[in-house]
């Protein structure tokens, strides 16, 4: 929990953010995720559900502490944290930075949305996107659908990795626009289009939001409730006292300065998204 708090603060300082939204994969309903239904339960079927049990056990304390910092916690209904962030990116005004190691969010990069990978310490925006990934955001989504995603247990087209996948993604984008592309890639696309289309349903972060309008209504209600979210440093200090987070208490004024920023930058982050 101490590490979590320090990490969030470091991102707020790094990007001079005035608002922080964290999407959690703790669903508000018991309905099955449509991705599990489409894959007959194999979606994310390789995840180790016991791996982060101790972290999950601390979730209540973490939520309480970061709410005191004015952080806006958001939850999906029957979808995932990914879908919440996709919706937030399209809904809230201003500059937005998505912080996650999940590369599914790369497809969301736009003029007002950047993606930051905290492991690589790499920030990707609309200006350096093609230089970084060799394709544009739409083609990147096609590329992911072509090669699949091992971490989510989604198989792609057999024999297609990064090099061939990127090339085919460009051709597939041309095919979607014009109905044709070079002959060799056209044959591959026609014989594997079901794989690509099925994977796009799982990977395209606009698909679920279009399919389940009640989900976006739920997000809207949450966002309205959080509109006037404020800091409570007296409560935050007491939490830190109880947990003996002395280094935070000693620099509480610094924490107040961090989370009382007035800028037009928003951080969108996701946590605990592996297992639900």
Domains and CATH numbers, the chain: 2-123+214-271 (3.40.50.1010), 134-203 (1.10.150.20)
pLDDT at 145: 97
What are residue 173's phi and psi, to 5 degrees? -65, -40
Nearest CA to 184 out of 161, 173, 168 is that of 168
pLDDT at 55: 65
pLDDT at 276: 26
Extended strands (E) in 86-235: 95-99, 113-117, 122-124, 148-149, 154-155
- What whole-number distance in Å separates Cα of residue 106 and Cα of residue 103? 5
Residue range 109-122: mean pLDDT, rounded? 96
Q: Tokens representing 28? A: 């508000």
Beta bridge partners of 268: 21, 98
pLDDT at 31: 85
Nearest CA to 206 out of 71, 42, 86 is that of 86
Q: Is the pLDDT of residue 21 over 50?
A: yes
pTM of the model: 0.89
Percentage with pLDDT > 70 across the chain: 91
175-219: per-residue pLDDT in tens? 999 999 999 999 999 999 999 999 999 999 999 999 999 999 999
Q: Is the pLDDT of residue 274 over 50?
A: no
Q: Tokens representing 238? A: 């007491």
């Amino acid at each position: 929990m101490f590490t979590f708090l320090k990490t969030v603060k470091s991102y707020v300082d790094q990007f001079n953010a005035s608002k922080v939204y964290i999407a959690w994969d703790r669903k508000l309903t018991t309905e099955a995720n449509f991705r599990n239904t489409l894959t007959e339960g194999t979606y994310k079927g390789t995840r180790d559900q016991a791996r982060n049990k101790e972290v999950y056990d601390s979730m209540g304390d973490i939520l309480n502490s970061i709410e005191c910092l004015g952080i806006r916690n958001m939850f999906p209904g029957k979808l995932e944290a990914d879908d919440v962030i996709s919706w937030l990116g399209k809904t809230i005004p201003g500059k937005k930075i998505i912080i996650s190691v999940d590369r599914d969010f790369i497809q969301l990069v736009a003029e007002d949305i950047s993606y930051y990978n905290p492991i690589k310490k790499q920030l990707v925006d609309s200006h350096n996107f093609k230089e970084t990934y060799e394709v544009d955001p739409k083609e990147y989504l096609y590329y992911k659908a072509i090669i699949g995603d091992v971490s989510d247990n989604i198989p792609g087209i057999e024999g297609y990795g990064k090099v061939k996948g990127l090339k085919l993604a460009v051709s597939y984008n041309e095919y979607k626009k014009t109905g044709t592309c070079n002959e060799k890639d056209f044959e591959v696309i026609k014989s594997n289009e079901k794989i690509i289309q099925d994977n796009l349903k799982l990977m395209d972060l606009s698909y679920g939001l279009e399919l389940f309008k009640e989900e976006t209504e739920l997000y809207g209600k949450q966002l309205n409730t959080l509109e006037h979210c404020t800091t409570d440093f007296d409560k935050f200090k007491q939490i830190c006292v109880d947990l003996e987070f002395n280094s935070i208490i000693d620099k509480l004024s610094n924490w107040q300065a961090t989370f009382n920023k007035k800028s037009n930058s928003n951080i969108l982050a996701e946590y605990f998204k592996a297992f639900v």
